[in-house]
Structure 1
Amino acid sequence: MDLNAITSHLRPADRGGLPVHQPGDACLAGGTWLFSEPQPTLRRLIDLTSLGWAPLAATEDGLAIAATCKVATLDAFEPPAAWIGAELIGRCCRAFLASFKIWNMATVGGNLCMGLPAGPMISLAVALDGVCTIWTPDGGERRVPVVDFVRGPLQPDLVPGEVLRRIDLPRAALVRRAAFRRASLTPLGRSGVLLIGTSGAGGDLALTVTASTRRPVRLDFDAPPSADDLARAIDMRIEPALYYDDIHGRPDWRRHMTHLFAREIRDELAGAIR
């Protein structure tokens, strides 16, 4: 869609070229949402792709993902064999159920900043203990766990002038075993429920609930909980108003599937399913 109100398109070459924020600014990365509907309040686009960030960097500490990394680039990443939890990358990328056009333009950072419940990059980053690095207008930076960065639909933890720079996935999370569950009302529909569980050598369980809730919810257990303890923990952390309600699923269905998938994930990671 043409954005007829735009009067300026900036392409900074480095951080020093980022302009002082003014009303009507928007950062442009993939633009898959930005150009999908009218944006009458915008006047200036700040193109982050001109900054030339390397999309991915794998080190002994883990995986650094630039905010401008394309979904297709992330999906093509080949992790070290020891990073068994990295199987979640492909599964979450495919949870988009998007066309090749979206895959090759949509960015990881854009998906996080949109904060939509069905955003699979949110699911991936929260499940793998992702941490956002945010550039602040004063030239500094701050770090925020992804689970706290996404506050709800179109509610990222960003103030005017801040820029999401990258997402770091620590090696400690990438070497954990993982289990994945996803449900949609239609075979090729948007995620209505998406749960991910991870477990370490000590038998702990980390459960990430997304798509069914307005914001991501993370539950951590020192050991696999009983069915009753798991159900109580979910209901304590996810109050009824937190379940999302839209055309892709009613809250009661989302709650039911959240409990069902949580039990399945617990059983799988505890070794009850052979």
Structure 2
Amino acid sequence: MLAPDLIEELAQQLSQARRTRTPLRQFSRQYPEMTIEDGYAIQRAWVRLELAAGRTIKGRKIGLTSRAMQLSSQITEPDHAPLMDDMFFESGGDIPFDRFIAPRVEVELAFILGKPLQGPGVTIFDVLSAADYVVPAIEIIDARIEQFDRETRAMRKVFDTISDFAANAGIVLGGRPVRPLDVDLRWVGAMLHKNGVIEETGLAAGVLGHPATGVAWLANKIAPYGEGLRAGDVVLAGSFTRPTPALAGDSFHVDYGPLGSVSFRFA
């Protein structure tokens, strides 16, 4: 484990990087002994800084849910991070591009919990029972830590991504909310349009076979730390498309078929 004072220092660096839109060199390059546990320790330290600054936690995100992403990251399970209140944006509007460093867009479903979920032992059936509804969502991911090192072009490691809020930077909810048992969520599909051109398509079954699986995993994963998912939490279940890069002026429209659509423009 990295020393506690170093963990606090790295969290401060991430907070500064987000404010100034200045990406950091990869922590794993500077500290090759870094572990996944260190990544989460840095993430928790950064969350404490956000809370001290007046931010609140509105939910959680689950990332690296596809088999391909886990293989590329050399891990065997997803990652996770809190969703802060200033990460939420309205569908149909403009989002300031200068809030981000190198944003990319992913297609997801969000579970809105009506009842708390406390592990261990949470199952997919508990998730479907606890969720008031499921709604289409777009996640905006970003890189406060360089995705590719500026000199070596080496890709960052999962330790870096975890410390960097699991890459989360923004959330847009929209479309038509549905009760989780009214639709076979595995077969929810979406088409992601960028500037009017279809860039990605996918099915929600790409998220661990069923998008509720990741929510159950998360509730059990955070239980040893005395944490649980709360009533009212928004839980992003994981992307079922590849990340799509974005530039200022790009517009995005994601069509979820019977579940409606979500759209925005980077202004």
Q: TM-score, normalised by structure 1?
A: 0.31
Looking at secondary structure, tell me which structure has more strand per residue. Answer: 2
If asked which structure has higher relative contact order (CA below 8 Å, sep 6+), I would say 2
> TM-score if structure 2 supplies the norm length?
0.31
